[in-house]
Structure 1
Amino acid sequence: MSFTLDRFDLDAFVAATLAEDLGEGGDITSAAVIPETARFRGAMDSRDAIVVAGLPIAEAFFRALDPEVEIEMRAADGDSVPAGTDLMRLTGRARAMLTAERSALNTIQHLSGIATMTRAYVDEIAGTGATLLDTRKTIPGLRALEKYATRMGGARNHRMGLWDAAMIKDNHVAVAGSVGEAVRRAVEAGIADVIVEVDRVDQIEPALEAGATHLLLDNMPPEMLRHAVKLIGDRAATEASGGVTLNSINEIAKTGVDFISVGRLTQSAPAADIGLDFAEID
């Protein structure tokens, strides 16, 4: 198994997650009820139609506790599968599999839930020319994984953090004194990518004249978005943001914006219904 993400340590994540669950006493239930030599065969399956994300991470939990576990992958991250699909099959030490089960399921349920919601939004804007973006509205410590899940659903990652692009918002503007002054300071600091949040049309020209490369058009209704996109032309990338829902995203995409960012992809996606059933091997 090989799974790597920038700014993510899989081994450390698995170890910390298992340590949180095991505490000081370990899995006292399995130790008391399951014979040490018992072996299980199991199948992880989707109970609903989902987009898969997190299978290699789930695998890592089982291998951490039973290096000799036999695992057969039946799907891959990014796959769209119907209800009832086997995602992986496992054979190994019963105690280890039961101990790893909850951590493995929690992870793949959360990430597949994000990927599934993301794919629904992507499908809604297919053919419009707009690209779906995620945001920094992620659970602390899980950003790399959650943004990986949005990619599996077909979105493109926005900023990974505060370090990879400037994003000037209303509080920055309030301190700097104006949109133009805030942008000017960012440009003078040598920042190549300067994203500016604007919620009024009259902020567009000052932002562009000062050197903004990307305008985030915040909470603008479709008609205002169309007007803003026309004013901006090809002078900067355009992004619609704020209050975007599955019902509204298609109309927003048709205004001509380059990007649409949706915080709920990582902030509010429900967990996918994925189960794991075991049977003892005679």
Structure 2
Amino acid sequence: METTVLALIRAAIAEDVGPGDVTAEYFIPADSRSKAEIVAREPGVVSGAEIAEAVFKEIDPAVEVEICLPDGSPFVRGSVLMRVAGSTRSLLTAERTALNFLQRLSGVATQARRYVEAVQPHPVQIWDTRKTTPGWRLIEKAAVKHGGGTNHRMGLYDHAMVKDNHLAANSDLASLQAAIHRLRTERPGTRVQLEADTLEQVAGFLTLDGVDMLLLDNMGPEKLREAVKLVNGRFWLEASGGITLETIKEVAATGVNAISVGALTHSSRALDLGLDFY
């Protein structure tokens, strides 16, 4: 497990357990042992199974964990996602932190799966954004992939994306071309994407060399179709801005290559999962 994820797990445990679980310590006998299952109260897609396992192991390395449904697996109400066995105190202490990760990440994966299914049969990718929970980006973007979505840039460091506020500060095409050439020279392999709010901007960007993709922001289906015709395959085209499950199929039909949806991460609901002792 990556060091950053393990640090996140340890921080979550420290936040919840602090110096000790007083309820388990005073109300559960030290020698008590139990078995439990994490059970789905509603359908969805699994994400965070290995993280939940790591939580139990951080609390008590002796806890036995069986992942019944690995990340990316669909499940129905009543499905058993995981079984655990060991010290009753340990299981109870780990319960909430393990469920917090598993419920939240499975919610993201489930949301991503809904959007991926909604665009069928169009060959368009569903992209996430940087609108993630601070500190959770790595695992939330993994959850998007578990749901069948595709990760956009991970951060500001791995993909140049010249958005409206950048253009407000420097929109001159000659200056943009010079910046693109400098980036290509100093950081070869870095993708370059420009945001276009109008078809006029799209036409202007077609005069530039070294651009990989355009972000077509808040354009309706008619303008998106016009942009697709105008670009004619020269750049990858990403549609974005207020796209919902109800509107996404119409956007997918315009011929864009990808649709980014901030709601995959910023508005996903945690799924209803429970730890049941037996």
TM-score, normalised with respect to structure 2: 0.94
Q: Matched residues in 1 for 2:194 and 2:55: separation? A: 41
> Counterpart in 2 of 1:277?
276
> Counterpart in 1 of 2:124?
130
Q: 1:153 to 1:179 in 2, by over 3 A?
A: farther
Counterpart of 1:154 in 2: which secondary structure? coil
Counterpart of 2:194 in 1: which secondary structure? strand
Contact 1:43 1:86 (C-alpha < 8 Å) held by counterparts: yes
Q: 1:246 to 1:183 in 2, by over 3 A?
A: farther
Q: Note the alpha carbon deviations across 1:212-247, whole angstroms, 9 max, x for none.
A: 210000000000000000000111000100001000
After TM superposition, the structure 1 = structure 2 runs for residues 67-82 of structure 1, keeping only pairs within 5 Å, are 67-82=61-76
1:156 paired residue among 141, 150, 154: 150
Q: Note the alpha carbon deviations across 1:85-126, whole angstroms, 9 max, x for none.
A: 001111100111111110000000000000001000000112
Gaps of 5+ in 1: none
| 1:143 counterpart = 2:137 | yes
CA positional deviation for 1:167: 0.4
CA positional deviation for 1:179: 5.3
Which has the larger displacement, 174-183 or 32-41?
174-183
Q: Note the alpha carbon deviations across 1:180-221, whole angstroms, 9 max, x for none.
A: 633541332225411111010000122122232100000000
Which has the larger displacement, 200-209 or 132-141?
200-209
> Counterpart in 1 of 2:199?
201
Runs of 4+ with deviation above 4 angstroms: none
| 1:169 counterpart = 2:168 | no
After TM superposition, the structure 1 = structure 2 runs for residues 56-135 of structure 1, keeping only pairs within 5 Å, are 56-135=50-129
> Counterpart in 1 of 2:5?
10
Counterpart of 1:260 in 2: which secondary structure? strand
Contact 2:116 2:126 (C-alpha < 8 Å) held by counterparts: yes
Counterpart of 1:113 in 2: which secondary structure? helix
> Counterpart in 2 of 1:182?
176
Q: Note the alpha carbon deviations across 1:11-67, whole angstroms, 9 max, x for none.
A: 3222211111122x3111111101111111101011101100001110111111221
Q: Note the alpha carbon deviations across 1:126-158, whole angstroms, 9 max, x for none.
A: 220111100000011000000000000000100
* RMSD of equivalent CA atoms: 1.4
Q: Matched residues in 1 for 2:100 and 2:143: separation? A: 14
After TM superposition, the structure 1 = structure 2 runs for residues 260-275 of structure 1, keeping only pairs within 5 Å, are 260-275=259-274
Contact 2:67 2:81 (C-alpha < 8 Å) held by counterparts: yes
Q: Matched residues in 1 for 2:181 and 2:251: separation? A: 30
Q: Matched residues in 2 for 1:187 and 1:219: separation? A: 28
- Which amino acid letter does the alignment assign opposite residue 111 of structure 1? L
1:20 paired residue among 9, 15, 20: 15
TM-score, normalised with respect to structure 1: 0.93
Counterpart of 1:210 in 2: which secondary structure? coil
> Counterpart in 2 of 1:30?
24
Gaps of 5+ in 2: none
Which has the larger displacement, 32-41 or 68-77?
68-77
Counterpart of 1:276 in 2: which secondary structure? strand
Q: Matched residues in 1 for 2:41 and 2:147: separation? A: 18
Counterpart of 1:67 in 2: which secondary structure? coil
Contact 2:238 2:256 (C-alpha < 8 Å) held by counterparts: yes
Counterpart of 2:207 in 1: which secondary structure? helix
Percent identity of equivalent pairs: 45
Which has the larger displacement, 200-209 or 112-121?
200-209
Q: Matched residues in 1 for 2:174 and 2:252: separation? A: 27
- Which amino acid letter does the alignment assign opposite residue 156 of structure 2? L
Counterpart of 2:206 in 1: which secondary structure? helix
Contact 2:5 2:139 (C-alpha < 8 Å) held by counterparts: no
- Which amino acid letter does the alignment assign opposite residue 252 of structure 1? V
